[in-house]
Chains A and B, each alone.
Chain A
Amino acid sequence: KQEVTQIPAALSVPEGENLVLNCSFTDSAIYNLQWFRQDPGKGLTSLLLIQSSQREQTSGRLNASLDKSSGRSTLYIAASQPGDSATYLCAVNYAGGTSYGKLTFGQGTILTVHP
């Protein structure tokens, strides 16, 4: 079964700390992997998209890596700020299905950055 798991479920850090969120997936045959941010009761904001052929993507203070052979991705957030507080979701677009828009999501990591 194609699944996505995120660890930890929740994380609380002081402002300024660097942190890593983890995502694991069960099948290395993927089209891409995407990291999203979700504020309470809101939709999803795409942070980074890593194609199957790529190893990492960077945007500002965010860096995402992809290791297909081990079925892992990490999202690194540098110099965290209270405004980074949100739920972070990892989503995998597994290959082989008929629908290219089918993302399989993890349950998310709830991040709290306190001043």
Chain B
Amino acid sequence: ETGVTQSPTHLIKTRGQQVTLRCSSQSGHNTVSWYQQALGQGPQFIFQYYREEENGRGNFPPRFSGLQFPNYSSELNVNALELDDSALYLCASSLGGGTAEKLFFGSGTQLSVL
């Protein structure tokens, strides 16, 4: 167990809807990163938040947005869902945002878009 918790574990939505995924960081960690993992692929970096500010973004459209709260928990919001958004969404937390940090991953949210 890493101490990183994600909710919900599974979610089914229809195309065009909006979804919010949640992540609670490991105690003491102030940096959260989000990844998308399509079936049979490695995870792809979406973005990172450090002390409530976005601190780097991958190649994802603006309809993917996020928030980090003062307690360092985080949300991933996806608007106008598309079928290709079906994937496992992983949250990872780390301490301090430095270069040598190890990332600790949660168990993920499995999103299905119909």
* A interface residues with partner B (beta carbon < 8 Å): 4, 31-32, 34, 36, 41-46, 49, 51, 89, 91, 93, 95, 97-108
Contacts and interface: CB of A to CB of B under 8 A. Distances in A.
Given A34-B103, A43-B107, A93-B99, A102 B42 contact: no
A44 B108 CA distance: 9
B43 to A, nearest CB: 5
Interface residues of B, number: 36
Given A97-B56, A102-B33, A44 B105 contact: yes
Interface in B56-111: 56-58, 88, 90, 92, 94, 97-108, 110
A68 to B, nearest CB: 15
Nearest to A46: B102
Given A41-B110, A101-B31, A106 B58 contact: no
Interface of B: 2, 4, 6, 31, 33, 35, 40-45, 47-48, 50, 55-58, 88, 90, 92, 94, 97-108, 110
A8 B52 CA distance: 40
Given A97-B56, A99-B48, A41 B88 contact: yes
Contacts of B44: 105
A107 B42 contact: yes
B97 A100 contact: yes
